[in-house]
Structure 1
């Protein structure tokens, strides 16, 4: 007899042998015992979670000649015929390759005929979401009111692609990803039956790599058995899957914690020389920092992580070397590297750049990096004091300090501020007109002085201003644009302008910046007040004072 793959040989034959889907199998068993069997079912879930296996067990259970508590007996003619695949009343259709309307029309014609041996004729349509729109429409009427001897079981990995009109005619069951402990337990049972020696740590690695799909785990396990003579080791599985061992991940994470970039590069070089897949390693390293984050948060972390107690203890010890902020920052860096590495021809460079960013916080100016650096400073201040902080920062950024020192050696032309003498303040309202005329006359000299003394940015802004009036010692300077006005009215710039006016014009003023519209509005308001005064007191007004 030819060899049969493990996932086929160990396909569940009863509801009780279906792993991790008790919330579904219990309902189906109760429906069979109570004779409340629906005419259409929809099984949804990711690959390898037991949808097709459950459909076949269901087909046996509803037709079994001697059911036991809702379970098929497995011994009668019907059960053996379905297990062997030669029962013509159980029809399995692959919708991916039979997705046309003609295929569904043929099915619709066949449902009229009674089953030959079974009580029910069961149609199992796998990957039903692959049917065309016309095929779905052709199936609608038959699915809504099928003959009494027909049961439809539809299976799909993408239920969102199934039309709502089909969903509403079926009883829907969602298959969960199978947990790591359940997969380990099943693999352990099979290993004992197959006389294979394998430890729980290795089984755990296989289970985690399966990502909730028991069929994937069985396929990997089947391949692993071929590596050794009756025994499977952790290193064999890691090598076959291209997965980096926990030892290597912990070693590289320690180098990151120590900010040892050169050690990280050496470890990555070893990784490449050992033939590991870089993209897979980035995913594994991301998951390692995710494990650190979960362990850092606390609670029942060992149950969430699904790792051995020995590995958990080492990860818990490593979390002391990282803050929560630094772990989250590293996850962000690795996630971005994972996305980039998928599309480049040299993913090694992406990995090395990511590790350098993780080691050298100063290379990154994002919020996470700043938070990490601030947290580090706070810890040093709390433990060692401010003087130590200065020394530490100087040591950590020695290159930067050297650059600054070199720059300081170069003579830098300082912006000169005007020599301001204490002048008379404009308080007398009668002098406003004369002083304003002086300012208008000497305004070009004020602007040129600002430019000559090196205030280039201030000059580029002040040149766009225009003196609009002088009132109670306040010089009104009007601007067309708000952002220019904002720059000039900065407290430091105002002092500079006021100083040059004082030194050139011989009297002190306060600078008050306004937009052109605001000046016009103030003038209009003043004219309105004069008109009201004329209305009340008459037009015999001698003088209007500002």
Structure 2
């Protein structure tokens, strides 16, 4: 290449600075070291598969390997690049190294031709090397033709297959190759490589401009050098931040901070003005969304571990960024990313991206959108237990005070009979919320022990779905009866029962959570644990006649013991149908029979 005021023939940077040694390949140290070790020990394979995103060094590594395996002056696994063989391969003049584009040579005949020519020994080099680029483009017949050659390879022949889409390659081909996955090149590595090239060319540059280019390349070194080449041409051999932003379509970091600040503080009109300024500068709308998504991603990572972003963002973390990380919650950032992804998908099919960007800005900044009720996140287990213990201590303290008041009331009765004192205490309790029998009795009419057991099994899971306050309230409650369509929950303390009875939101939430756990809706009825035995006994006496008439049917449907079995186990006495129904509803363990 002749350089001067005028250039006779200019070559792109990615061609001039193409790696000629394994150590020059950026960001693939594991792969290059493995290949060098194989060359040093002479343990090379007859077929390799290089996969990975575009511009990550797959074809360059294949050519370097072709030189190294044929170089007679190999040093530490690296080709000398000085011998006639290395120079011929570098210039593409060696007939024994054949590079094929599978995108345009994907038929069976082309692969058969390769298979036939591979049988002949190399003419100049030690090994004949076939580099098949974009191998996933081969047809099914071509793959079958190539498979036979890979199964029984000729001596002194090496196949190197390169592709960006390994999922399209048959497993029978992959299993006969050594596979190397080239990863995306980090922003830091791309930045260092561009700094090295510009220093060698003695070109002045702005470090922030190279950061913008490295991020815009999205992990491809070839893309980074192409953008760098374009920026040099645009800026007359000078790399400035303004030129880099103009070429890549990226948004100035200060402008991006301003936009995020305005939408996070719900300043709709100001955010729309900033958006108009961005689009008026000719910035690409899709690039702007990419920058915003990357910004949100960095915020999430910074909240988890600041060192991750400090290492990856090339010192791009400023005071404004740290402020965002403290003030924006994870839920807000998740919502922003959802809106950005949704808009990005919609913009693929429109010719008016500015309209979608304006709608997106309103969504991100509109107060009522941002203030939608969020489900309360549960605190960590230690904090939850501490709060529950505190509330339980308060409950115990209040209970003790109630007992003291009862004792004081009884002692103050003096000569009055004890029954009158008790009556006064009961009268004091008469202001409690009365149980809703219209909800409780329908549950009892269809209640079974099986349904009650099922509800008790899921009760711990149900409690974990509530927030701390609701969980503390329900911690002193337990199910005492259940049917397919309803459940009765008893509270150990009367004042908590009254509080729960007035909390319609809690009842709705319990029904919703139970629906998620059991698969169907349950109507919830509350009751005071002290009142429960009386309510249960009252229901049994009111429905005594129905229980006697339906005794056999109820036993059969609920899977209870037959009449003969009950008679035998009760010392030849017929069981009371009321007792039998009570046992069916609440289980034999909880029903105690006392004779008058």
- TM-score, normalised with respect to structure 2: 0.63
Shift of the 277–230 alpha-carbon distance from structure 1 to 2, 3 Å rule, reads closer
In the other structure, the counterpart of 1:315 is 321
1:308-367 Cα shifts (integer Å, max 9, x gaps): 25x444311332332233222222222222223323443333333333333335336866
Shift of the 208–521 alpha-carbon distance from structure 1 to 2, 3 Å rule, reads farther
Indicate whether 1:337 and 2:343 are aligned: yes
* Residues 298, 309 of structure 2: 8 Å contact kept: no
1:474-511 Cα shifts (integer Å, max 9, x gaps): xxxxxxx969xx9999789xxxxxxxxxxxxxxxx999
* Residues 46, 175 of structure 1: 8 Å contact kept: yes
What is the CA-CA distance between 1:270 and the residue it aligns to?
Answer: 1.6
> Quick one: distance in 2 between partners of 1:288 and 1:148?
53
> Quick one: distance in 1 between partners of 2:555 and 2:254?
82
> Quick one: distance in 1 between partners of 2:51 and 2:306?
32
* Residues 136, 163 of structure 2: 8 Å contact kept: yes
> Quick one: distance in 1 between partners of 2:522 and 2:109?
75
Of stretches 25-34 and 39-48 in structure 1, the one that deviates more from structure 2 is 25-34
In the other structure, the counterpart of 1:102 is 109
User: What's the secondary structure of 1:124's corresponding residue?
Assistant: strand
1:163-203 Cα shifts (integer Å, max 9, x gaps): 11111111111111111121111111111222321122111
In the other structure, the counterpart of 2:210 is 203
Shift of the 521–137 alpha-carbon distance from structure 1 to 2, 3 Å rule, reads farther
Which one of 7, 20, 30 corresponds to residue 13 of structure 1? 20
* Residues 296, 316 of structure 1: 8 Å contact kept: no
Please, which runs of 5 or more residues in structure 2 have no aligned partner?
Answer: 1-7, 380-438, 440-444, 446-483, 487-520, 528-537, 557-561, 580-596
What is the CA-CA distance between 1:307 and the residue it aligns to?
Answer: 3.1
> Quick one: distance in 2 between partners of 1:15 and 1:34?
16
Shift of the 275–136 alpha-carbon distance from structure 1 to 2, 3 Å rule, reads same
Shift of the 519–342 alpha-carbon distance from structure 1 to 2, 3 Å rule, reads farther
In the other structure, the counterpart of 1:32 is 39
In the other structure, the counterpart of 1:129 is 136
In the other structure, the counterpart of 1:355 is 361
User: What's the secondary structure of 2:234's corresponding residue?
Assistant: coil
> Quick one: distance in 2 between partners of 1:365 and 1:3?
57
1:453-494 Cα shifts (integer Å, max 9, x gaps): xxxxxxxx9xxxxx9xxxxxxxxxxxxx969xx9999789xx
Let me know the Cα RMSD of the aligned residues. Answer: 4.0
> Quick one: distance in 2 between partners of 1:199 and 1:81?
38
User: What's the secondary structure of 1:198's corresponding residue?
Assistant: coil
* Residues 291, 305 of structure 1: 8 Å contact kept: no
In the other structure, the counterpart of 1:300 is 307
Indicate whether 1:212 and 2:212 are aligned: no
> Quick one: distance in 2 between partners of 1:198 and 1:308?
17
What is the CA-CA distance between 1:519 and the residue it aligns to?
Answer: 12
> Quick one: distance in 2 between partners of 1:80 and 1:233?
37
> Quick one: distance in 2 between partners of 1:545 and 1:262?
73
> Quick one: distance in 2 between partners of 1:234 and 1:72?
38
> Quick one: distance in 1 between partners of 2:525 and 2:308?
54
Indicate whether 1:326 and 2:332 are aligned: yes
What is the CA-CA distance between 1:229 and the residue it aligns to?
Answer: 2.7
Trace 1:521-536 onto structure 2 (pairs within 5 A): 524-525=553-554
1:371-429 Cα shifts (integer Å, max 9, x gaps): 59x9xxxxxxxxxxxxxxxxxxxxxxxxxxxxxxxxxxxxxxxxxxxxxxxxxxxxxxx
* Residues 272, 358 of structure 2: 8 Å contact kept: yes
* Residues 51, 180 of structure 2: 8 Å contact kept: yes
Indicate whether 1:290 and 2:297 are aligned: yes
- TM-score, normalised with respect to structure 1: 0.68
> Quick one: distance in 1 between partners of 2:225 and 2:540?
82
What is the CA-CA distance between 1:230 and the residue it aligns to?
Answer: 2.7
> Quick one: distance in 1 between partners of 2:176 and 2:555?
79
User: What's the secondary structure of 1:226's corresponding residue?
Assistant: helix
* Residues 188, 312 of structure 2: 8 Å contact kept: no
What is the CA-CA distance between 1:545 and the residue it aligns to?
Answer: 12
* Residues 202, 234 of structure 1: 8 Å contact kept: yes
Shift of the 366–125 alpha-carbon distance from structure 1 to 2, 3 Å rule, reads farther
> Quick one: distance in 2 between partners of 1:512 and 1:49?
83
User: What's the secondary structure of 1:231's corresponding residue?
Assistant: coil
Of stretches 88-97 and 294-303 in structure 1, the one that deviates more from structure 2 is 294-303
* Residues 93, 126 of structure 1: 8 Å contact kept: yes
Please, which runs of 5 or more residues in structure 1 have no aligned partner?
Answer: 375-460, 462-466, 468-480, 493-508, 538-543
What is the CA-CA distance between 1:31 and the residue it aligns to?
Answer: 1.5
Shift of the 287–545 alpha-carbon distance from structure 1 to 2, 3 Å rule, reads closer
Indicate whether 1:142 and 2:149 are aligned: yes
What is the CA-CA distance between 1:119 and the residue it aligns to?
Answer: 0.6
